[in-house]
Structure 1
Amino acid sequence: MNRVAFKPLQNTALPHSFRHIRLERARERDHPEGASAIAYIMVAPLDRVSRIDAEVWKTHRDACRVVRQRPCQEDQLGHLVHDPSGGWRFHYDVSGVAADEAGYHFGDERFRLGEYVSVREADGMHPYRVVAVTPL
């Protein structure tokens, strides 16, 4: 597996709109109580209504990151990528072999504590709950 090397973030160089966002697997058939060990941690700019700010993303792409956490697996490091159709994806593999995961309507979603979002993964669509949104 290719490991992505990240330069450390310099929080003072980023706009104040950047947030640390934690998404945890919400209740679904295979996880009736949810699963806090199945999670994503995002670093992304949010606008005044808590949506991902595409304009700020454009000038700070390298700082927009994601960590994919799964039990018994090494964390996967990646970037939050805005695709030409307006959607958002999690891109981990710099060689382009692994498929990206896609946020379902992330452009319209509000990343506020307690809200739910969906992520399309290799095995289908899964619900996640926003459990933390904090300034960097």
Structure 2
Amino acid sequence: MSTTAREPKHDGPTASFRHVRLELAREKGHPEGDRHQGYDLVVPLDASGHLDPVEWKAHQAACRVRRFHEHEADQIGRLRRKPGGTWYFDYVEGRDDDEIGFRFGAERFVPGEYVSISHRGVMHTYQIKRVQEL
């Protein structure tokens, strides 16, 4: 008699996951940008560098974000997606602390490109400094 063993569900990162480093770009008050303000993301990217919603859906718990700022404690959260496709960072479930990624679904996460994130109601631009395999 043979039995079929079930594979355990694996919710960890797959080969498409990348560590993406975002640093504050030039803006008023930061004419040179600021490498001490930004985000570290662990996210699935497709071959062209776009966020992969299929991989995200299958491995949501592995999609992490760390917001860093030299004068504040780091915030650790998750990458989430609203119905309709808006990507956002969620730090504490149920709290009004979400940060919205502006057009993240259309952005390419490749070094040198820029993305915008709404933090506390103010839009800031970040440069993608690094994209590397885990």
Q: TM-score, normalised by structure 1?
A: 0.87
**What aligned pairs does 1:69-84 form with structure 2 within 5 A after superposition?**
69-84=68-83
Q: Deviation at 1:123?
A: 4.2
3-state SS of the aligned residue for 2:73? coil
Q: 1:131 maps to which residue?
A: 129
Q: Distance in 1 between matches of 2:95 and 2:130?
A: 31
Q: Which amino acid aligns with 1:43?
A: V
* Number of residue pairs the alignment of both structures matches: 125
Q: Which amino acid aligns with 2:70?
A: P
3-state SS of the aligned residue for 1:31? coil
Q: Distance in 1 between matches of 2:121 and 2:100?
A: 12
3-state SS of the aligned residue for 1:75? strand
Q: 1:54 maps to which residue?
A: 53
Unmatched segments (≥5 aa) in structure 1: 1-9
Q: Deviation at 1:109?
A: 0.2
Q: Is the 8 A contact 1:103 1:118 kept in 2?
A: yes
Q: 1:16 maps to which residue?
A: 15
Q: 2:63 maps to which residue?
A: 64
Q: Deviation at 1:71?
A: 1.2
Pick the structure with greater CA Rg: 2
Q: Is the 8 A contact 1:92 1:98 kept in 2?
A: no
3-state SS of the aligned residue for 1:74? strand
Q: 2:6 maps to which residue?
A: none
Unmatched segments (≥5 aa) in structure 2: 1-9
Q: 4+ residue stretches of structure 1 with deviation over 6 A? A: none
CA offset digits 1:48-106 (Å, max 9, x no partner)? 11000000000100000000001122110000001112010000012x22320000000
Q: Which amino acid aligns with 1:128?
A: Y
1:106 equivalent to 2:110? Answer no
